Structures are given as C-alpha cells and as structure tokens.
Amino acid sequence: MLETSRTDVESKFLMTFDEDRFIKLPINSYMELLGIEPNTTQNSIINCMNNPKYRFVTAAVSRRQGKTYIANVIGQLVCLVPNSNVLLMSPNYSLSQISFDLQRSLIKHFDLEVLRDNAKDKVIELSNHSTIRMGSVNQVDSVVGRSYDLIIFDEAALVDGRDAFNVALRPTLDKDNSKALFISTPRGRNNWFAEFFQRGYSDQFPEWASVKATYHENPRISEEDIQEARKTMSEAEFNQEYMADFNTYEGQVWGFKHEECVSDLVELDTSKMDIFAGMDVGYKDPTAFCVIGYDWDADKYYLLDEYLDAERTTEQHAEKIRDLINKWAIDYIYIDSAAQQTRFDFAQNYDITTINAKKSVLDGIGHVAAICDNDKLIVDQRCKESLLSLDQYQWDPNPNLLKEKPVHNYASHMADALRYALYSFETTATTF
C-alpha cells in the first residue's frame, strides 16, 4: 500500500510542472535511457521532489523498492545543471559509499566528463562544475561551509541525525529552490526520522511532504518471497522491513505500549506519591535525569519530567536538577555509581544528595521490562526523550557476544537513568 501526505501528489505517473520544477531536465527521457519504468513509490518521490511547493521530502519505504536508486537518479539530474552541488549523507561513510558508487555508475553509463574524482576528499566534480559530495553524520563538519542544491539522507532512521541536519546542514540549503530528501525504512516512532515524516501531514509544515510504501508497491516481489520472509523473520522485523511500520522496532529492549501508557499528566495529583529520580552522568555524552512518581495504592509509576543535555558544566547540570527537585519535591535521586566525583560535587557544592544506583544491567532491564509489560509505567506526553528511549533502546545484534547487552547510542542515556530509578527504588525504597 502507498500513502502520500499531500493530496496533490500523484503516484501512478510522473507529473508535469512548469519552469519552477526542481528537476530541470526531462526526467521521463532520462528514465527511458536507463530502461527504467518507475514504480508507484518512485513516482511519488519524484513528484514530491519536483513540486515547487515542497522543499523537504521524507520517504518511509520498505526494502527492495529502489528508494536509494531513485534518490541518486534525482541527484544525478540535479548535477547535470551547471554549478549545482549535491550532498549524499548517511549514518556512516560505508553507507554513503553505496550512493557514491551508484553515482559513479550513472556517470559512466552516460559517459559524462569528470574533472576530478577524489576518494580522499570524497567529492566528484563534473565538467560543468557541479559536484557530488559524500558525507556522514559522524563527520558532518567536513561537509559544511558550502551551499547545496540537494541533500539526500539515506538510511536516515539508523542514526539520530536531528542535530546534524538542523544545526549543521539546514543552513547549507540557502538557495530558494534547494531541497532535502530523507529516505529510510522506519526504525520505531520516537526518533527524528519519524518526526520529520509526521511533518508532511502537518499544516504547520507546508513545505514538507511524506511518502510511505509497503512491499505491495514492488511489482518485482513475489508472494513466495513474502512467505519466505515471514518464516525467517519475527513479526516485528517483518512489519518494520516490509510494511514500513513505525510502531515496531526489531531489537527493542522494552515493549512499552504507547497507546495505553502515554498520557497528559499535567493535572495528576502527586501529593501522596513517592517522588524519585534516576541520573546517568555524561561527560561527552549527555547527562540524563528522569523524575518518577510511585502511587502505592494503584501500584503504578508515573514518569513526570526529564532533563537531557550535553557539554554542560557540573554547575549548570546542578542548577537544572535543583529546579526539578524544587518543582517535584524529589525524595531520592539514584545516580550512576561510577560518577563519584559528581556525587561529591553535588553534595559539597550544591546541597544535592544522591544515592548510588543498583547497576545490574540485565536484572535492571528485566525489572523495567516487567513494569512495561504490565502497563505499570505511565509517561507524560511531554517527556519526549524518555519516550524516544523507551522506543529506541535496543539489544546489540552482534551474534558473537557472550551475553546480551544493549547498544550504547543516543537512546541509552535516558534509558540508563530510567533503569537506575525504577530498579533502585524497587530494591531500596522499603529501607528508608
């Protein structure tokens, strides 16, 4: 099934636009020379990009739909206009290299003249002085400082690219008709890719459009292929990879149920609750802090508030946490036992008392999992970082590990704070 967020986007054929269209050269002729008849998904992506109304296009597409290929076809057509600049972004250089090699293949196919193809600088310059540059989220600083006509962000859901785009790359789209295309198979719903996808449905973001396509839009996939995939994949993995489902994420640590357990808690009476917090101390990584209330009568935990920030001084963190202590009358703060210097500084200089958290990782994860499985954790809808962590915290897929462990990524900091809080409170609260 195919879904487009804007009603003026056609999927059955390539639309015709006037001179304001983004792709200046005749794309129909180009596709014919390649011997390609675009499928409905590719038509939708091209039509979104060509429409002058939309500058930012998010495509959540199942595997084997040709999304990377059609994105690079668009990139090539842009570069055929003199003095144009295209950036190929991915979570890392290995993934970016796939698009970079595809560009080389298209250049060779059409026998285009190349002035330079510099592997070290990761740039191809055509004879018309257009450039195709390769970038990575991990090294985003290396591609800023110039203007781009088009940024293609492939496999966007595999990494937290929000800051990379908003802070570093968005300012490089400084031409009136410059655009960005984000393509990926979804990886859960509380991440930047899902957020950008939802913008395509919002009246607040009229320059955004979104496309979603399941395996049904791929005419080359057989029913036998689908049945084989169903046999060899978990239901979550199949829904993710073939149904472009934002609601599941293969490898999730916690089965948190958003529909049942996310609520507006602004009017919640916390006066009879025990209020406690978990804190994961970061240095280069973010410092995470979550505030939880426990209702003894209802046997439910309420995640009330949060704080997440990086590259702040101890004093700045202490100021924010002091505000939360005063706001919620926090009784206990469970902190990473490895952060003894922070514990000392908080107590000595800021009159903030903390307790060493229980740190057994797998036991703590299991404890939080049981709480989530029984719908005993209710999260305030404004706690975006906590919701992201509950969704994106995942097991390390490395098959050579001697025992399971979670991935250390952008979701793990708040997840650790949550684990410290819930597991430590359960095991120590009765001793106070």
Question: Of 42, 39, 51, which is closest to residue 9 (Cα–Cα)?
Answer: 51
The answer to whether 305 touches 291, Cβ cutoff 8 Å, is yes
**Quick count: other Cβ atoms within 10 Å of Cβ 196?**
25
Distance CA 97, CA 14 (A): 29
Give the span between the Cα atoms of 295 and 104, in whole angstroms: 61
User: Which residues, other chains included, contact 7 with Cβ-Cβ below 8 Å and sequence gap of 6+?
Assistant: none
- Residue 224 annotated among the catalytic residues of the structure: no
Report d(CA 96, CA 391) in Å as an integer: 26
Spatial distance between the Cα atoms of 78 and 128, rounded to a whole number of angstroms = 12
**What's the number of CA atoms in the CB half-sphere (13 Å) around residue 76?**
26
Contact 342, 281 (CB under 8 A): yes
CB 86 within 8 A of CB 79: yes
Provide the token pair at 398.
Answer: 């490395």
Count Cβ atoms below 10 Å from residue 270 Cβ, excluding itself.
Answer: 16
Give 286: exposed, middle or buried? Use CB within 10 Å, 0-12, 13-18, 19+.
buried
Catalytic residue among 155, 250, 306, 385: 155
Q: Which residues are catalytic?
A: 155
